[in-house]
A = this chain, B = another copy of it.
Amino acid sequence: MPALAELPLRFREFSAEHPLSTARLARQIYHDRLFQGRIKKEEKAVANLERIIRAVLRLSQKQGFSAMSLRDLSREAEMSMGGLYAYFDSKEELLRMIFERGQRTVLEIFDELMISFSEAGAKLQAAICAHLYLSEAFPKIFYFFFMEAKGLTHEDQRRSIVLEQSTELIFASIIEEGVQTGVFHCENPLMTAAMIKALLQDWYLKRYKYVRRKISVEHYATQVLNLVIPYLKQHRSGYSSIS
């Protein structure tokens, strides 16, 4: 196993630099004016929005968003039913609000992380680590986006898929870049990007499993890199037959 020091990014440094907190999300939602400024005092509004978002993430994780009643939510967020409705017009809009802002913010942070790496090989490694670390820092958000997308209207679902796939396109373009500069060999960069995403997804979808097996995010990152980087660096002509 390669030493962890070989990782281009360490989780500790990463999480210090990139705070995607629910507080940040709440403030962004406030400034988006996604709700019509019914609450005047910003600090109050942001604090309440954060309580709501955290409660939604907590409750949705148990039985899913659609099984979460607003009575549950009002108890968990410690606000009255009437109070909740100052922040959204309907349960459907509450879901939309979190998706709209949350997905865009995650993508922005991911993009920011990529610009400091220029060479394709290093960039791909950084992208893999960055994605894993982001989902490690905010597993509930990533899990929520995956599980609850089907609760959106068709139009919002479409937009959600576009945003989600733009991550995949980033991976594909890094691979393509590497192919052009000769460091990678790959016949189908988009397919490879899809497989990488599948591996990254498992980290937050089956989190309980890795926690129980005491596998750290950096260990997981190392394993993914061990699988993917050699695959891209060597010339191949089909998997070798075994017989």
Q: Name A's B-contacting residues (CB within 8 A).
A: 1-3, 6, 62-64, 66-67, 119, 121-122, 125, 147, 150-151, 161, 165, 183, 187-188, 190-192, 194-195, 197-199, 201-202, 205-206, 208-210, 213, 215, 222-231, 233-234, 236-243
| Alpha-carbon separation in the docked complex, A192 to B202 (Å) | 13
Q: In terms of DSSP, what is the predominant structure of the interface of chain A?
A: helix
A41 to nearest B CB, angstroms?
A: 36
A198 contacts which chain B residues (CB < 8 A)? 198-199, 201-202, 206
* B223:A229 contact, CB within 8 angstroms: no
* A1:B231 contact, CB within 8 angstroms: no
A123 to nearest B CB, angstroms?
A: 10
* A230:B231 contact, CB within 8 angstroms: yes
A4 to nearest B CB, angstroms?
A: 10
Given A147-B147, A195-B227, decide whether A240 and B233 contact each other with a Cβ distance below 8 A: yes
* B236:A240 contact, CB within 8 angstroms: no
* A227:B227 contact, CB within 8 angstroms: yes
A59 to nearest B CB, angstroms?
A: 12
* B233:A119 contact, CB within 8 angstroms: no
A217 to nearest B CB, angstroms?
A: 13
A33 to nearest B CB, angstroms?
A: 29
A229 contacts which chain B residues (CB < 8 A)? 239-240, 242
